[in-house]
A and B are shown apart, each in its own frame.
Chain A
Amino acid sequence: MKSMSRIVYHLARLALALVFIYAGAVKTQDVVTFAGHVAAYQILPYAMNYLVASTLPYVEFLAGILLLLNARVRPALMVIGGMTLVFMVALTSVLLRDLGIDCGCFDPGGGENVTAGAALLRDVGLMGLVVLTWWLRTAGHAGCGTRNEKSQNGPES
Protein backbone atom coordinates (compact mmCIF):
# COMPACT_ATOMS: atom_id res chain seq x y z
CA MET A 1 0.00 0.00 0.00
CA LYS A 2 2.85 2.31 0.93
CA SER A 3 4.62 1.72 -2.40
CA MET A 4 1.33 2.28 -4.27
CA SER A 5 0.94 5.65 -2.55
CA ARG A 6 4.49 6.51 -3.47
CA ILE A 7 3.82 5.73 -7.14
CA VAL A 8 0.63 7.81 -7.09
CA TYR A 9 2.52 10.68 -5.44
CA HIS A 10 5.27 10.67 -8.04
CA LEU A 11 2.82 10.34 -10.93
CA ALA A 12 0.74 13.26 -9.66
CA ARG A 13 3.85 15.36 -9.05
CA LEU A 14 5.25 14.64 -12.50
CA ALA A 15 1.91 15.30 -14.20
CA LEU A 16 1.65 18.69 -12.50
CA ALA A 17 5.29 19.45 -13.27
CA LEU A 18 4.90 18.72 -16.99
CA VAL A 19 1.65 20.66 -17.28
CA PHE A 20 3.08 23.79 -15.65
CA ILE A 21 6.49 23.62 -17.33
CA TYR A 22 4.74 23.38 -20.70
CA ALA A 23 2.21 26.10 -19.85
CA GLY A 24 4.95 28.46 -18.69
CA ALA A 25 7.41 27.70 -21.49
CA VAL A 26 5.00 28.30 -24.38
CA LYS A 27 3.77 31.57 -22.91
CA THR A 28 7.27 32.96 -22.49
CA GLN A 29 7.70 32.60 -26.27
CA ASP A 30 4.99 35.17 -27.03
CA VAL A 31 4.39 37.49 -24.10
CA VAL A 32 2.49 40.11 -26.13
CA THR A 33 -0.06 37.61 -27.45
CA PHE A 34 -0.46 36.19 -23.96
CA ALA A 35 -1.09 39.76 -22.72
CA GLY A 36 -3.91 39.85 -25.27
CA HIS A 37 -5.43 36.73 -23.71
CA VAL A 38 -5.13 38.24 -20.23
CA ALA A 39 -6.77 41.46 -21.49
CA ALA A 40 -9.66 39.42 -22.93
CA TYR A 41 -10.68 38.58 -19.35
CA GLN A 42 -11.39 42.31 -18.86
CA ILE A 43 -10.32 42.24 -15.24
CA LEU A 44 -7.11 44.27 -15.11
CA PRO A 45 -6.21 47.75 -16.35
CA TYR A 46 -4.35 47.49 -19.65
CA ALA A 47 -0.77 48.01 -18.40
CA MET A 48 -1.29 45.35 -15.72
CA ASN A 49 -2.10 42.83 -18.46
CA TYR A 50 1.48 43.21 -19.71
CA LEU A 51 2.88 42.94 -16.19
CA VAL A 52 0.98 39.71 -15.54
CA ALA A 53 1.92 38.32 -18.97
CA SER A 54 5.58 39.13 -18.32
CA THR A 55 5.79 37.41 -14.93
CA LEU A 56 3.14 34.68 -14.62
CA PRO A 57 4.68 32.25 -17.17
CA TYR A 58 7.99 32.29 -15.26
CA VAL A 59 6.21 31.52 -11.98
CA GLU A 60 4.47 28.57 -13.66
CA PHE A 61 7.70 27.38 -15.24
CA LEU A 62 9.86 27.53 -12.11
CA ALA A 63 7.19 25.97 -9.90
CA GLY A 64 6.96 23.15 -12.45
CA ILE A 65 10.73 22.71 -12.46
CA LEU A 66 10.77 22.39 -8.66
CA LEU A 67 8.06 19.72 -8.84
CA LEU A 68 9.99 17.89 -11.52
CA LEU A 69 13.13 17.94 -9.39
CA ASN A 70 11.13 16.84 -6.33
CA ALA A 71 12.59 19.82 -4.47
CA ARG A 72 10.67 22.38 -2.41
CA VAL A 73 7.57 20.44 -3.38
CA ARG A 74 5.09 21.97 -0.96
CA PRO A 75 6.04 25.61 -1.66
CA ALA A 76 5.75 24.83 -5.38
CA LEU A 77 2.37 23.16 -4.77
CA MET A 78 1.23 26.16 -2.75
CA VAL A 79 2.15 28.49 -5.63
CA ILE A 80 0.53 26.26 -8.24
CA GLY A 81 -2.57 25.76 -6.09
CA GLY A 82 -2.85 29.52 -5.53
CA MET A 83 -2.49 30.25 -9.24
CA THR A 84 -5.04 27.57 -10.14
CA LEU A 85 -7.47 29.06 -7.62
CA VAL A 86 -7.02 32.53 -9.17
CA PHE A 87 -7.54 31.05 -12.66
CA MET A 88 -10.73 29.36 -11.45
CA VAL A 89 -12.10 32.62 -10.04
CA ALA A 90 -11.22 34.45 -13.29
CA LEU A 91 -12.81 31.73 -15.44
CA THR A 92 -15.95 31.74 -13.28
CA SER A 93 -16.23 35.51 -13.76
CA VAL A 94 -15.83 35.00 -17.53
CA LEU A 95 -18.68 32.47 -17.48
CA LEU A 96 -20.89 34.76 -15.39
CA ARG A 97 -20.25 37.68 -17.77
CA ASP A 98 -20.77 35.42 -20.80
CA LEU A 99 -17.64 36.74 -22.51
CA GLY A 100 -17.12 33.70 -24.73
CA ILE A 101 -13.32 34.04 -24.88
CA ASP A 102 -10.54 31.51 -25.35
CA CYS A 103 -8.96 30.73 -21.97
CA GLY A 104 -5.36 31.33 -23.13
CA CYS A 105 -4.17 28.75 -20.60
CA PHE A 106 -1.48 27.23 -22.80
CA ASP A 107 -0.09 28.16 -26.23
CA PRO A 108 -1.20 31.78 -26.81
CA GLY A 109 -0.63 31.73 -30.57
CA GLY A 110 -1.68 28.16 -31.26
CA GLY A 111 -5.39 28.67 -31.74
CA GLU A 112 -6.11 26.44 -28.79
CA ASN A 113 -9.75 27.61 -28.49
CA VAL A 114 -10.56 26.10 -25.11
CA THR A 115 -13.74 27.61 -23.71
CA ALA A 116 -13.88 29.02 -20.19
CA GLY A 117 -16.15 26.16 -19.08
CA ALA A 118 -13.76 23.46 -20.30
CA ALA A 119 -10.79 25.31 -18.80
CA LEU A 120 -12.60 25.55 -15.47
CA LEU A 121 -13.19 21.80 -15.45
CA ARG A 122 -9.52 21.22 -16.26
CA ASP A 123 -8.52 23.54 -13.41
CA VAL A 124 -10.75 21.58 -11.02
CA GLY A 125 -8.82 18.47 -12.06
CA LEU A 126 -5.48 20.21 -11.58
CA MET A 127 -6.58 21.45 -8.16
CA GLY A 128 -7.49 17.87 -7.27
CA LEU A 129 -3.98 16.78 -8.27
CA VAL A 130 -2.45 19.57 -6.18
CA VAL A 131 -4.44 18.56 -3.10
CA LEU A 132 -3.63 14.87 -3.64
CA THR A 133 0.10 15.54 -4.06
CA TRP A 134 0.17 17.82 -1.02
CA TRP A 135 -1.65 15.25 1.10
CA LEU A 136 0.58 12.35 0.02
CA ARG A 137 3.68 14.49 0.62
CA THR A 138 2.51 15.59 4.07
CA ALA A 139 1.38 12.07 5.02
CA GLY A 140 4.85 10.76 4.23
CA HIS A 141 4.03 8.70 1.16
CA ALA A 142 6.69 10.40 -0.94
CA GLY A 143 9.35 7.79 -0.32
CA CYS A 144 12.92 9.04 -0.38
CA GLY A 145 11.80 12.68 -0.51
CA THR A 146 10.45 12.78 3.06
CA ARG A 147 13.45 14.25 4.80
CA ASN A 148 11.23 16.99 6.19
CA GLU A 149 9.24 14.41 8.09
CA LYS A 150 12.42 13.36 9.84
CA SER A 151 13.66 16.86 10.54
CA GLN A 152 11.37 19.81 11.04
CA ASN A 153 14.13 22.22 10.13
CA GLY A 154 15.49 20.31 7.18
CA PRO A 155 15.95 21.90 3.78
CA GLU A 156 13.26 19.87 2.05
CA SER A 157 9.61 20.91 2.11
Chain B
Amino acid sequence: MNDLKRIGLEACVLIAFSALIGLTLNYQLVLDAFSGQLSAPQCQAELEENALISLPLPAMIGDVQQAIAFGGLIVDARSPELYTMGHIDGAVSLPMVEIDAVLPEFLEKIVRDRAIITYCSGFGCPDSFDLGVRLLEAGYLDVRVFEGGYPEWRDAGLPVTGESR
Protein backbone atom coordinates (compact mmCIF):
# COMPACT_ATOMS: atom_id res chain seq x y z
CA MET B 1 0.00 0.00 0.00
CA ASN B 2 2.85 2.34 0.92
CA ASP B 3 4.50 1.37 -2.34
CA LEU B 4 1.37 2.34 -4.27
CA LYS B 5 1.21 5.66 -2.42
CA ARG B 6 4.79 6.40 -3.36
CA ILE B 7 4.13 5.51 -6.99
CA GLY B 8 1.06 7.75 -6.97
CA LEU B 9 3.08 10.60 -5.51
CA GLU B 10 5.78 10.17 -8.12
CA ALA B 11 3.11 10.11 -10.85
CA CYS B 12 1.75 13.41 -9.51
CA VAL B 13 5.24 14.92 -9.55
CA LEU B 14 5.67 13.73 -13.15
CA ILE B 15 2.39 15.34 -14.19
CA ALA B 16 3.20 18.59 -12.35
CA PHE B 17 6.70 18.77 -13.83
CA SER B 18 5.49 18.07 -17.38
CA ALA B 19 2.64 20.55 -17.06
CA LEU B 20 5.07 23.17 -15.79
CA ILE B 21 7.26 22.69 -18.86
CA GLY B 22 4.21 22.94 -21.12
CA LEU B 23 2.96 26.08 -19.38
CA THR B 24 6.41 27.68 -19.48
CA LEU B 25 6.70 27.09 -23.22
CA ASN B 26 3.12 28.14 -24.01
CA TYR B 27 2.37 30.68 -21.29
CA GLN B 28 1.46 33.45 -23.76
CA LEU B 29 -1.07 31.24 -25.52
CA VAL B 30 -2.68 30.16 -22.24
CA LEU B 31 -2.66 33.74 -20.95
CA ASP B 32 -4.38 34.98 -24.11
CA ALA B 33 -6.94 32.18 -23.92
CA PHE B 34 -7.86 32.92 -20.31
CA SER B 35 -7.99 36.69 -20.88
CA GLY B 36 -10.46 36.09 -23.74
CA GLN B 37 -8.17 37.36 -26.48
CA LEU B 38 -8.28 34.11 -28.43
CA SER B 39 -11.23 32.77 -30.32
CA ALA B 40 -12.54 29.26 -29.80
CA PRO B 41 -9.94 26.89 -31.25
CA GLN B 42 -10.74 25.15 -34.50
CA CYS B 43 -9.00 22.59 -36.66
CA GLN B 44 -7.12 24.13 -39.59
CA ALA B 45 -8.83 21.73 -41.99
CA GLU B 46 -12.21 22.86 -40.69
CA LEU B 47 -11.30 26.54 -41.12
CA GLU B 48 -10.05 25.98 -44.65
CA GLU B 49 -13.12 23.97 -45.57
CA ASN B 50 -15.43 26.71 -44.28
CA ALA B 51 -13.44 29.38 -46.07
CA LEU B 52 -14.19 27.69 -49.40
CA ILE B 53 -17.89 28.10 -48.79
CA SER B 54 -18.99 31.55 -49.88
CA LEU B 55 -22.38 31.41 -48.19
CA PRO B 56 -22.93 31.25 -44.43
CA LEU B 57 -24.21 27.97 -43.07
CA PRO B 58 -27.32 27.80 -40.88
CA ALA B 59 -26.99 27.48 -37.11
CA MET B 60 -29.57 26.05 -34.73
CA ILE B 61 -30.39 27.40 -31.29
CA GLY B 62 -28.09 24.79 -29.71
CA ASP B 63 -25.23 25.94 -31.93
CA VAL B 64 -25.70 29.49 -30.64
CA GLN B 65 -25.52 28.30 -27.02
CA GLN B 66 -22.45 26.26 -27.84
CA ALA B 67 -20.78 29.17 -29.63
CA ILE B 68 -21.37 31.39 -26.59
CA ALA B 69 -19.91 28.72 -24.30
CA PHE B 70 -16.84 28.27 -26.49
CA GLY B 71 -16.03 31.95 -27.00
CA GLY B 72 -17.81 32.54 -30.30
CA LEU B 73 -19.26 35.94 -31.18
CA ILE B 74 -23.00 36.48 -31.59
CA VAL B 75 -23.81 39.39 -33.88
CA ASP B 76 -27.14 41.20 -34.04
CA ALA B 77 -27.86 42.39 -37.59
CA ARG B 78 -31.02 44.36 -36.73
CA SER B 79 -31.32 48.12 -36.35
CA PRO B 80 -29.76 49.77 -33.27
CA GLU B 81 -33.27 50.55 -31.96
CA LEU B 82 -34.32 46.91 -32.00
CA TYR B 83 -30.97 45.91 -30.47
CA THR B 84 -31.55 48.37 -27.60
CA MET B 85 -35.05 47.03 -27.04
CA GLY B 86 -33.78 43.51 -26.60
CA HIS B 87 -31.02 41.22 -27.85
CA ILE B 88 -29.38 37.89 -27.15
CA ASP B 89 -27.33 38.19 -23.99
CA GLY B 90 -23.72 38.96 -24.95
CA ALA B 91 -24.49 39.74 -28.62
CA VAL B 92 -22.83 42.73 -30.27
CA SER B 93 -24.68 45.07 -32.61
CA LEU B 94 -23.67 45.25 -36.28
CA PRO B 95 -26.74 46.72 -37.98
CA MET B 96 -27.05 45.76 -41.63
CA VAL B 97 -28.72 49.13 -42.38
CA GLU B 98 -25.50 50.93 -41.39
CA ILE B 99 -23.06 48.23 -42.43
CA ASP B 100 -20.71 50.42 -44.44
CA ALA B 101 -20.25 52.75 -41.47
CA VAL B 102 -19.83 50.15 -38.74
CA LEU B 103 -17.98 47.33 -40.50
CA PRO B 104 -14.47 48.91 -40.51
CA GLU B 105 -14.41 49.15 -36.71
CA PHE B 106 -15.68 45.58 -36.43
CA LEU B 107 -12.93 44.38 -38.78
CA GLU B 108 -10.32 46.07 -36.62
CA LYS B 109 -11.55 44.53 -33.39
CA ILE B 110 -12.51 40.96 -34.30
CA VAL B 111 -9.94 38.41 -35.47
CA ARG B 112 -10.75 36.57 -38.71
CA ASP B 113 -10.77 33.04 -37.29
CA ARG B 114 -13.28 33.78 -34.55
CA ALA B 115 -16.54 31.83 -34.82
CA ILE B 116 -19.40 34.21 -35.61
CA ILE B 117 -23.15 33.62 -35.62
CA THR B 118 -25.42 36.35 -36.98
CA TYR B 119 -29.14 36.74 -36.30
CA CYS B 120 -31.97 39.19 -36.87
CA SER B 121 -35.76 39.07 -36.44
CA GLY B 122 -36.43 35.50 -37.45
CA PHE B 123 -37.02 33.46 -40.57
CA GLY B 124 -38.58 36.27 -42.62
CA CYS B 125 -35.64 38.60 -42.06
CA PRO B 126 -32.80 38.64 -44.64
CA ASP B 127 -30.38 40.88 -42.69
CA SER B 128 -28.58 38.10 -40.79
CA PHE B 129 -27.93 36.19 -44.01
CA ASP B 130 -26.79 39.31 -45.87
CA LEU B 131 -24.51 40.23 -42.97
CA GLY B 132 -23.12 36.69 -42.96
CA VAL B 133 -22.22 37.01 -46.64
CA ARG B 134 -20.55 40.38 -46.01
CA LEU B 135 -18.49 38.94 -43.16
CA LEU B 136 -17.38 35.96 -45.27
CA GLU B 137 -16.39 38.34 -48.04
CA ALA B 138 -14.45 40.37 -45.48
CA GLY B 139 -12.37 37.28 -44.73
CA TYR B 140 -14.03 35.70 -41.71
CA LEU B 141 -13.61 31.95 -41.79
CA ASP B 142 -16.47 30.66 -39.67
CA VAL B 143 -19.72 32.56 -40.12
CA ARG B 144 -23.13 31.01 -39.57
CA VAL B 145 -26.68 32.36 -39.48
CA PHE B 146 -29.16 31.68 -36.69
CA GLU B 147 -32.30 31.81 -38.80
CA GLY B 148 -34.73 31.57 -35.91
CA GLY B 149 -33.26 34.85 -34.71
CA TYR B 150 -34.20 36.87 -31.68
CA PRO B 151 -37.86 35.66 -31.50
CA GLU B 152 -36.88 31.99 -31.29
CA TRP B 153 -34.18 32.70 -28.69
CA ARG B 154 -36.48 34.87 -26.55
CA ASP B 155 -39.43 32.46 -26.79
CA ALA B 156 -37.17 29.59 -25.70
CA GLY B 157 -36.67 31.50 -22.43
CA LEU B 158 -32.94 31.93 -23.01
CA PRO B 159 -31.03 34.94 -21.59
CA VAL B 160 -31.72 38.28 -23.25
CA THR B 161 -30.68 41.84 -22.46
CA GLY B 162 -32.52 45.07 -23.22
CA GLU B 163 -35.10 47.62 -22.21
CA SER B 164 -38.14 45.67 -23.37
CA ARG B 165 -37.48 41.97 -23.10
Q: State the A residues within 8 Å of B (CB).
A: 28, 31-33, 35-40, 42, 45-47, 49-51, 53-59, 61-63, 66, 72, 74-76, 78-79, 82, 102, 104, 108-109, 111, 148, 152, 157
Contacts and interface: CB of A to CB of B under 8 A. Distances in A.
A82 B36 CA distance: 30
B6 interface: yes
A50 B14 contact: no
Given A31-B29, A79-B11, A45 B70 contact: yes
A157 B32 CA distance: 39
Contacts of B45: 111
B10 A72 contact: yes
B41 A49 contact: yes
A50 B33 CA distance: 7
A74 B4 CA distance: 9
Contacts of B19: 55, 58-59
Given A36-B46, A46-B33, A59 B41 contact: no
B15 interface: yes
Chain A contact residues: over half helix, strand or loop, or mixed? Answer: helix
B71 to A, nearest CB: 4
B38 A50 contact: yes
Interface of B: 2-3, 6-8, 10-11, 13-15, 17-19, 21-23, 25-26, 29-30, 32-34, 36, 38, 40-46, 66, 69-71
A68 to B, nearest CB: 14
Residue among B3, B14, B15, B41 with most chain A CB within 10 A: B41
Contacts of A66: 14
B12 to A, nearest CB: 9
Contacts of B32: 50
Contact of A36 (B6, B13, B42): B42
Nearest to A74: B7
Contacts of A62: 14, 17-18, 21
A36 B70 contact: no
Contacts of A82: 11
Contacts of B22: 28, 54-59
